A and B are shown apart, each in its own frame.
Chain A
Amino acid sequence: MSPVQEGEPLVRVRGLQKHFPLRSGWPWQKRETLRAVDGVSFDLKRGETLGLVGESGCGKSTTARALLRLVEPTAGEIHFDGRDIMEMAPGELRRFRRRAQIVFQDPFSSLNPRMQVGTALAEVLTVHGVAADAAERRQRVRRLLERVELAPHLAERHPHELSGGQRQRVGIARALAVEPELLVLDEPVSALDVPVRRQILGLVRNLQREFGLTCLFIAHDLSVVEKVSDRVAVMYLGRIVELAPAPVIFSRPAHPYTRALLAATPRLESGRRTEARGPVLEGDVPSPVSPPSGCPFHPRCPHPERDDECRLVVPRLEAKGKTWRVACIKVTTSPDARS
């Protein structure tokens, strides 16, 4: 798909946790914590796109924010290009802030409401010293808007004077302005119709081919994730339960949760949705405040061999094949051996 480079990964995440303390109703009550991210480890190889999927609230955006040092992890380490991001000195941090960019799920939150979008983009270029002079800045801003399919005259608008999809694209242009090495995309195309969506995804793929851009791509639309990702990580209740090359995840998923998630995805034929291919997940997502013991998926797991052991043993994300990792004590065979 894209020229993924083996060797030292661009990003290395180990044992990442982010717990939020909750306000308690009464002073004598014990303060509880919400385990938004609860022990996540993965690498982002240079030039690859890792898709991150999972139900609403499973911790995708929180993981993304931690990667950019926008929230402070409760535990764990994040290395960017070999350096611990929490230990970066101011100068290094400034460079990091240019090299790693994020497109937020909510475009409003990342755009300055009082600034015309063209001016805001030019300012980003100035701050990071990307363009030499005003003429080059103008030129670059025009080019950026073009790349995300926005008409040049929209540069003079304020964010509230744009449509939802136009605003989302300004967010993308802003992240691309400084030519980052790492791009985190949190639901980047959810507000876009198919033609524009295709253009944006094509743009990201081109940047990967030309400049070896590395991406973390979060989306709930699995058909989009399937198209853009080299590998996919499936998250459940703050943990990664399966991580494998995209074709493996989509054709031969092994973790019972991944299977259920995919089975619940209907396909559209002749204007009507076909029935989902498998059982829709039963029951609510358990509370991230008091997650289940053992395997966090056990209360909903449809695996025929689910037993007491699942309730006691916390499955680790283990390598079951060369490129395939899964957190389930009942999965033993490698996907290469399965058909």
Chain B
Amino acid sequence: MKSPYQNTHQLFASDEYKNTLKEQILKNFFHNPIKHMYLYVDAWFNFAFGTKNNPLYHLGSLAFFLLWIVLVSGLYVFVVFDTSITGAFQSVEAMTEQWYLAGIMRSLHRYASDAVIAVVLLHIIREFSLDRYRGFRWFSWFTGTPNLWLMILLGISGYWLVWDQLAQYVAIGSSQLLDALPIFSGAMSRNFLSGNLSDRFFTLMAFVHLLGLPVMLVFGLWIHVKRLTKVEVIVPRGLAIGSFLALLILSLIKPAVSHEQADLSIVPSVLNLDWFYLNVYPLLDYFTPGETLILAVAISSLLMIMPWLPTKRTPPAVVVDLNHCNGCSQCFEDCPFDAISMQARTDGARWDMEPIVDPALCAACGICVGSCPYSNPSRRSETRLATGIDLPDQPIHQIRTATKTVLTELSSSKVKIVIFGCNHGIDLTEINAPDIATITLPCTGMLPPAFIDYTLRHGADSVLISGCRSQDCYYRFGNHWLEKRIKGERTPILNKRVNREHFEFVGYAEIDKIQLLKNIETIRQRILNEGQS
């Protein structure tokens, strides 16, 4: 469609455009309100913490960090804990009395455990809001849920060990739930009637809490991140310091305390429940243990099968073309989803290695296409630009053709700006102005840096690359790798001779369209000024 405006400036300044923009923003908002609300919160955190330390970008590793605090404080607490039914309560009370050391350790142990659940809930909300749970990501989502369960069981068994009235409530509720399982069939609960309880149970519980569940959790988490590469296991330092200090201050202001000592001849009436962990027990006052179990299983099953409600199709996986591969293994280095591995060369070529792709793991993000040294649009030999690894649905040749086409279209324009965007940041099809041309890739990580050079040399005044928000690539590392390639820190690097003034790499989410328009306008002004001088 031909725009009635001469240039971007006229277009953006027109009332008509402003109204359409408002409409678009509203429409997009209501199209996916959860995602949009999330993105506003995300922007606020970016403002407060900076993109590097935005906790929302590090929820997984923040959970790991909190688990480390839980572990270290737990070891301390264990040393001073008395693992017997008669001594447990007193030993925990003694910790709280020593407020400056054992008390702090106990509080850190409790609050860090609570914070893990809070952080994991945010982690779930984030992956869901940003639609990062379906398609090729089903595995991470599916294997995440059992870890939540293990965490909750870990918390429950921990509360049990204090042997106060809350522990008693938890113990009786748990045994009622266990009795509802056909394997126990009703004998469990009688253990918790006065006079029936032995130390044996308590030792079992301590074993479960100290060894059984933690080992299972470590294994579960290993599985959870198995399909990801370069998993961030260490949280950025700023966040580590901040969250540790916050926990420490909370522990000093509001130390963790117990209820009264357990007494099996009474029933605890008012309980200060830890809702992060003990939320299932009140259900027992409204439903039978069997119904409660069914409800809990139903909710977690529903959570687990979310990736298929409905599922999301992943485009066909990348395909290797050994005729254009020198086995440099950069694609293997860059793949965020562990879909590429290297093996000994099979085609008799003089190189040692070749990549192979596991289609089941491939996200079709194209990041490997961007890392292949053969994806250079200036290679002349072929009529068709062939590369070592390519996306069947949107091959690199097609992107070169699109670039050529838009450059021809812009040739008569006074200002020529080419924008490369991605499928997950701002929708560039909504940006329709006469002196701008847009090309959308699955991910900006797919853009070989040589394309910047190519586009500028073939007539563009400026190239703008608009990816996801910095640190928040939909495909984990796309914008990060491209930035490094541009800076010359990762191959294939951008030719040093390319004038850095003539292109810009920005990161925006769907809701940041106005900022992008401002960017475009600044670039336009700069080009016009340069033209005049």
Q: Please say whether chains A and B are actual partners in one complex.
A: no
